A and B are shown apart, each in its own frame.
Chain A
Amino acid sequence: MSSRIIKYLLKRGIIIFLTVVAAVYITIWIANMGGYVDEIVRGELYLSISQSIRQNPAYRHFNETQIKKLIDSLYTNELERIGFNKPFIYRSFIYLRDALSLNLGRALWISSDSGSRNVRIIILERLPNTVLLFTTTQLILFFIGLFAGLFLSRKYGSIADRLSVLLAPLSSLPGWFYGIFLILIFASFFRILPYGGMVDVPPPEDTWSYALSVLKHMILPVMSWLIAYLFINIYVRRTFFLIFSSEDYVELAKAKGLPESIIQRRYILRPTLPPIITDFSLTLIGSWMGAIITERVFNWPGIGSLFYLASVMFDTPILVGLVVIYAYLLAITVFVLELVYAAVDPRIRVGGR
């Protein structure tokens, strides 16, 4: 039995890893526009070399052909040094190896606030901002959704339940859209909350007022996501619990006269726990990618706006870095979940169908 589990997990692990490899390789091709970014880089390189040569007084007595020759030879050397003399298809595999070993390299154009071109530093500088905003929001959404859903599934048909059904279509509008309205109301009309950004300009000196300022800037984005996604969350959870609470074994427990709290905990919550945990971990991982449009609307300096900036500037190393980190986190989560379920849940029959 256990050797079968190990064999199964090994097989899943390999498949998940290969999926990550393929996804990262595809990203490398897309982010490089099939090699087009190379030409931009080559052009920039040639320009900067020829400028530095032409402005160097040491070469002033050179004539045009000599200068041209010098530039060309320096350019070829430099290409060789950074490995750009090889065709893109060859280098794409080097990129793949670097990405998979998390050797993220240097950004092409974007630099961090501290002035570094190191991709890892750039990403790590943005990550806390995104985690602060979106992970907080997702946690609030998740737990309110869970408990309100559980509560409403018991009060099926009550006014509160009907209200949750009525309000669920509000979620057909995305968070950033509500964001625009909230900015209009609270920033533009009442002028009590900031339009966007993460902290006042200039940032307050002491830690307390800094934290307070950040908190003030978080209100509108968090609120916009709560309005957009809270009701659908509650609705989905409520329906989910409703379906589970009409299972036969729950009816049986009720018939046996077990107290409500035990039915709740043992007969409804426990069997529904695996999908809830899956949801929870996937939303958590997803929240680390930020939200491109919400971050743009609120001018929030997180991973989402970094993603946008890197996409429009073709800063390939950053794009590949972000995707590879996300892919790894996702893969690890999925794998760990499979591991846990294989060990814990007797209903998940490993290997067979």
Chain B
Amino acid sequence: MLSRMKKFFRQLFFYKSAAIGLGIILILIGISIYTIFALPYDEATRLWRAGEKQWLDNPRNAMPSWLNIFSSKKMPETIILDTNRSQPGASKSIIQVTEKFSKLRIEFSFDYEYDDFPSEMNLFFLSNFTFSSPILTIYWVKPDGKEIVLKTFLISKEDRYYISNDDKLSNELKTYISRKINRTIEYDAPITLLLFAQEDTSILDPNTAKVMKGNYRLWIDGTIFESAVDLNAKLVVYGKVYGLAGTDHLRRDLTIALLWGTPIALSFGVVASVSIALIQMFIGAVCAWFLGGVDTIIQRITEIFMVLPFLPILIMISTFYKFNIWVLLLVVIALTIFGGGVKNYRAMFLQIKEFPYVEAARAYGAENIRIIVYYLIPKVLPTIIPSMVLSVADFVFLEAAMAILGLGDPLAPTWGKIIDDAYTNGALYKGLYYWVLEPSALLAATSLSFAILGFALDKIFNPRLKEM
């Protein structure tokens, strides 16, 4: 047995493509095992569906950060400064002046050495006052020392200031810069650009506007009207790159869906392809062995199924029931077991049935089911392994296609889901290529690896096709 396995693998690795395919499949299996243990499924779906609150510190539609290695233009990472965490660059002091009156000073300071502007900028506040809201004034200091008042306002206990959405500030900044360079800014400049750009004529065009590199400061001057009040602030300067895989339109980390897509795609593809092949083969064997009435009925059922359009019926059923991925798998299997494959298997078994060893089994009185399972099926099994491996790709793509039609599992984070999200949010129009390319690359790698392995197996098991 062991030597036979050895011989088989030697034969297999004679085809370099098979070795590559097998290698990729093993890597994918490794990723799957890692994912299942490192990020439990319930946690993954919870994170994936958690909504804005969970992901508020992430940039929207950020590219993967490793792209920076290949680009001369350094895209900004996200900078988070929080007074609640003791970290350099964030300091807070509250000085009690009288019993009902204290002064607050928060200072954030960070170096900005990137070549592109941040995508957004937000401030979050958390305070434990009871009646009177503290009043805050927020200042922005650019590397050249220029100080700008961003806003003065009363805060609530849990407040946020979306700096990059402040239209009033935008107008003020535009007016100030226009006056300084004696030209008007014609386009709709984002606040992040106005806050981080060099204030010269290059700012007149969004394509030439340059980042003023250096140390930025944002400081908050506040007055608190109660005693023993604490107030913490968090500054988030959202970048344009994030993590290994980037983020989507809901700021979610794409690695979650990319990781979980792997075990889902593999198990869906393999389970569907293997079980369909085995069941079809069994039905074909039953047809060929019994013939007569059983055969006629099954043949007619197969013909009916060949007329029914598979995908539309699958779409109808899944629109109606909105089921999860494993029920989808069952429905796919149920709709295909009477497919055209049954006829091929039946033809194969009709030949094998006449072999002397089957005659012998019948002569000593073996039961029908025993002959089918122990004598007929093992003879055909090796010849169908290649097509079984090949069709894994079809089912992996079927799952993706259902997701793209908006009919996938509503909960599971899968590759098809990412492509669907990217497509419906215009990723291709907006040039957010990473969003489509990442899941696509994984899909392509998965199906190509199974395909080249299948082709190599085909040459081994069906030597008539072997090349010279």
Interface set of A (CB-CB < 8 Å, partner B) = 15-16, 18-20, 22-23, 26-27, 30-31, 33, 36, 157, 162, 165-166, 168-174, 176-177, 180-181, 183-184, 187-189, 195, 239, 242-243, 289, 292-293, 296-297, 307-308, 311-312, 314, 319, 322-323, 326-327, 330-331
Contacts and interface: CB of A to CB of B under 8 A. Distances in A.
B221 to A, nearest CB: 47
A279 to B, nearest CB: 13
Closest 6 CB pairs between A and B?
Answer: A172-B451, A169-B451, A23-B307, A172-B393, A311-B315, A188-B428
A170 B444 CA distance: 9
Given A239-B465, A243-B464, A311-B312, A169 B397 contact: no
Contacts of A330: 307
A322 B307 CA distance: 12
B431 A172 contact: no
Contact of B307 (A180, A181, A195, A326): A326
16 contacts: A23-B304, A26-B308, A27-B308, A168-B455, A169-B451, A169-B455, A172-B393, A173-B448, A174-B397, A176-B404, A189-B433, A239-B465, A292-B405, A296-B404, A311-B315, A330-B307
A188 B313 CA distance: 33
Contact of B393 (A168, A173, A322): A173
A19 B301 CA distance: 8
B304 A180 contact: no
B405 A188 contact: no
Contacts of B452: 169
B421 to A, nearest CB: 13
B313 A172 contact: no
B405 A293 contact: yes
Interface stretch (B162-170, B316-324, B356-364): B316-324
Q: Give the interface size bracket for B toward A.
A: 35 or more
B320 A172 contact: no
Contact of A176 (B401, B407, B447, B454): B401
Contacts of A16: 303
Of the listed residues B303, B406, B450, the one surrounded by the most CB atoms of chain A closer than 10 A to its CB is B303
Contacts of B193: none
Contacts of A20: 307
Nearest to B443: A177
A177 B423 CA distance: 12
Interface string B292-312: 000000001001100111011
B303 A172 contact: no
Given A172-B447, A296-B404, 14 more contacts: A19-B303, A23-B308, A169-B455, A170-B448, A172-B394, A176-B401, A180-B419, A188-B429, A188-B431, A289-B309, A308-B405, A311-B315, A311-B319, A319-B312
A323 to B, nearest CB: 6
Nearest to B313: A30
Contacts of A296: 404-405
Contacts of A308: 312, 315, 405
Interface string B416-453: 00010001000011010100110010011001101110
B244 to A, nearest CB: 21
B307 A174 contact: no
B468 to A, nearest CB: 5
A341 B362 CA distance: 37
B467 interface: yes
Interface in B353-391: 390
Contacts of B467: 157, 162, 165
Given A162-B467, A172-B450, A243-B464, A323 B308 contact: yes
A211 B283 CA distance: 50
Contacts of B309: 289, 307, 322-323, 326
A248 to B, nearest CB: 15
B319 A312 contact: yes
A52 B6 CA distance: 79
B315 A177 contact: no
A11 B313 CA distance: 29
A36 B429 contact: no
A210 to B, nearest CB: 25
A33 B317 CA distance: 8
Nearest to B453: A169
Nearest to A165: B467
Contacts of A319: 312, 316
Contacts of B428: 180, 183-184, 187-188, 195
